Amino acid sequence: MTGTDGRCRGGAQFLATRRGTLIKKETPLRTRWIALALSTLFVGALIGSALSPQPAGAVSREIIQLQEQVAQLLQGQQDLRSAVDANNATLKTLVQQSLDSIGQLHGQMGALQKTVQDVQANTGSRIDTMTTQTQGLSDNLQDVQARVGKLSQQLTDIQNTLQSIDAKVSSAAPATVPGGASTPGSASANPPAAGMPPISADTLYQNALRDFTSGKYDLSRQEFSDYIKNFPSNDLASNAQFYLAEISYSQNDFQGAIAQYDLVLVNYPKSYKLAAALLKKSMAELELGMKATGTRDLRDVVRRFPGSDEARRAQAKLHEMGVSTVAAPRPSSHH
C-alpha cells in the first residue's frame, strides 16, 4: 500500500506539473486571438460606417449643388461662345472695312499718280514752250543791243561824213552860169550806192526769229539757212543753227533734229547754245527710244553745265525716268 500510494502521489504531481506547463503555453495564444478579434471588429465598424448609406437629405443637397454647378458651367460656356461669336463678327467687319479702305486708297493713289503724270507732261510741254520763247526773247534782246550799237556807230560815221562834206563845200563852192544853170562839171549826179546786200544780217535774223516764234517753220527754216549761208562768221550763226534744229524738233523730225543739234555742238564749240543743244538732243533721242544714248547725254548736261537751267531740267528728266544722275562705275577687270 505504501508503494502504491507513493506511485499515486508521484503521478498526481506529474499531472499537476504538466497542467501548469500547458496553462502557461495557452495564455499568450489566447491573448493573440483576443487582440485579433478586437482589431477585426474595429475595422469592420469603420468599413461599415464608411459604407453605410447617408441620409437622403444630404444626398439631395449635394445633387442640387452639383446640378447648379453644372448649370453655371454650361451658362458660362454659352456666354463665352456668344462673346467669341460677337468678337469674330466684329473682327470680320473690321477686316472688311480695312479691305474696303485699302481698295479705295489704291484707287485714289492710282488717280493721283495719273494726275501727277498728266501735270508733269503738261508742265514739261509748257516749260519747253516757255524756254523756247525765253530763248527767242533773249536773242531778240541781244540782237537789239547789237543793232543799237551798230546804229550808233553808223550815226557817228554819218556825222563825220557830213562834217567832211560841209568842210569841202565851204572851201570850194561850185561855179554857176547866169540863168542858174550849173557848169558841165557840176552836172554829175550822185550814183546809187553799189555793193550793198539786199538785206542786212540783223534784218534777216529778226525776220527768221519772228517767223519761228509765230509758227511759220518753213519760212523760218529758209531764212535761218540763208543767214548761215550769207553770214557764217556772225556771232548769231550758232543761234541760227540751233533754231534750225528746234524747227525739226517741233515738227517731230527727231532724227533731223539730232543731226542739226550735232552741228551746233561740233561747229560752234563756244556758243552759249551748247547746253540747250545737248539737252534737246537727248530729248530727241529719248523720243526715238534711244534710252541709253539719251541718258548718257542728259548726264553730260549735268556734268558739263552744273548749276544751269538745262542741268536742272536734265536732272528732273533723269529723276522722272528713275535713273541716277551719275553713271554707275564699271567693275574693274582682273587679268
pLDDT digits over 64-115, tens only? 988 899 999 999 988 998 898 898 889 988 989 989 889 888 888 888 888 8
Residues in the chain predicted with pLDDT less than 50, given as ranges, are 173-197, 335
* CATH tag, 201-326: 1.25.40.10
Q: Concatenated DSSP letters for 247-311? A: HHHHTT-HHHHHHHHHHHHHH-TT-TTHHHHHHHHHHHHHHTT-HHHHHHHHHHHHHHSTTSHHH
Letter string b/e over residues 193-208, b meaning 16 or more CB atoms within 10 A of that residue's CB: eeeeeeeebbebbbbb
Question: With contact defined as beta carbons under 8 Å apart, do 261 and 280 qualify?
Answer: yes
| Packed helices 237-250 and 217-230: angle between N→C axes, nearest 10 degrees | 150
pTM (predicted TM-score)? 0.46
How far apart are the C-alpha atoms of 299 and 315, rounded to whole Å? 8
Question: With contact defined as beta carbons under 8 Å apart, do 66 and 58 qualify?
Answer: no
Quick one: pLDDT at residue 300? 96
Question: With contact defined as beta carbons under 8 Å apart, do 256 and 265 qualify?
Answer: no
User: If you search the block for the grid coordinates 530763248, which residue do you land on?
Assistant: 135
Q: Quick one: which of 281, 307, 309, 308 has its CA closest to 296?
A: 281
Provide the CA 58 distance to its chain's centre, in angstroms.
81
Quick one: pLDDT at residue 187? 38
Quick one: pLDDT at residue 272? 84
Question: With contact defined as beta carbons under 8 Å apart, do 267 and 241 qualify?
Answer: yes
